[in-house]
Structure 1
Amino acid sequence: MTEYLLKHLREMVKEEGRWSSKPGWPFLDSTWVVSGEKRKNLVVGVWECVDRDLELDDDATLTFSFDDDDEKPLEAIEVVEVVAGVLLQWLRNLQEGVVPQDIWPDVYKTGADKKLAEEVLDKLFTSFSPVHANVFVYLTGFIMEIVSLLSSPLPSQSPPKDTDIITGPLSPIQGVLPFGRSRVARGEIVKHTTLEVFAEAIIRKKGGNKTAEDKRKAVAFLEVFVSDI
């Protein structure tokens, strides 16, 4: 799924589109264009491809659960959105999570401290199955590339409209909107919004629900590993 997303996003950023006007797309559900029954059926198709190890460009499998009278021609943007959603769903459904709940106190204490964050990563390698650390390292590399792509200069170099900027409740730019928007790098908005989505999906806390402060800590921890962008 990650390779599919990178492949198609590399093509999409050559032209302006939803990626350039909706920071957080295609991972933030409020930015999705495809919805309703078409989305539900497409989700089934994506899971079918994943379960059978088929290419995600296989339209016949992607649409196999569509009714005869359903609209079958698929646009790349629709499939990319659904694949992004399925990837996040898969991460959320992992039994222990990528970063297990037992290590949450360390994550919370770490915040944005790079040295402590490296110690948490070492603990993932030594105290848990190496799979956790390996997947975490792979995902941070994936997130770095995604953010880099989606922060690409707009083909027209025109700034996005005010109404198109989407920020999460924890975004550090909340206090400067709308008057300070022109002073905030678009890339930082994309980066923070994407980190919010992935931090929620891969970092577990005992008991489940995270407070606003918990979420800030999780995002800060994850950002340590993508800070080179």
Structure 2
Amino acid sequence: MPPSFRSAPNRVLEQLHGHLRRALPEHSPDEYEDALSLETLDPPEAGDSRTAFRIEGPGGISFRVELELFPIGEETCEVHVETEEGPSRHFTCDRPGEEDRDPVSQVAYSLATFLLGEVERRRGRVSSRPPDLSALPPHVPLLVLDEDGTIENLTQGAQRILDDSSDGSVEPNFFSHVHGQNLQWVMQDLAHMVAHRKQNARWLLRLRTGAQRWRWYRAVAENHLDRPDDGIRVLLRPLSGR
């Protein structure tokens, strides 16, 4: 019988930690080999309901993970998981019947899947670099927006599209270039990207171009706000015949 969630939370955490050590290598890709490790930072003592450890993965990935146990009674608890500068998750753990699988083990395997996904996410973030716009062909219309929709960077191709001034400058607020009939869903999609609820979006929209003319474009937006010195990349393609 597993230890009581309420009276011995530290024992539950120790058990969860042991299961996690076994679950991580079982679920990790073969390419990881011995590159994945788990180091205890704050071992729980008697009565403790919190613990912390560090995950290290391939490519120099390393991040702190904090676990906290919230007993709901003798039979049920919640395990709250927070990752350093990353997402958090909640797992529910119920005491088993006589023929049920150990619930702490079940939570450990769910937690292992979540943490391995976080390792992969961070590997992708490290391996990808912000776009060097100067290296793109100058005619490619690409721009980078910050969280507020301000144009942080753009190629010459994008500048030629959005240049609606006599001095060759571009209004930095991207929303000011979008036609009112398209503005609401563009702003909504960007808000979802900022909240990390949406990774990309496609739009058919009108943009104000030179000489105050409105032209139709297809736009593809990709969310790269989690990368240093990057933002929401928007690629524009003119729609002929409209």
When normalised by structure 1's length, the TM-score is 0.22
Higher share in helix: 1
Higher share in strand: 2
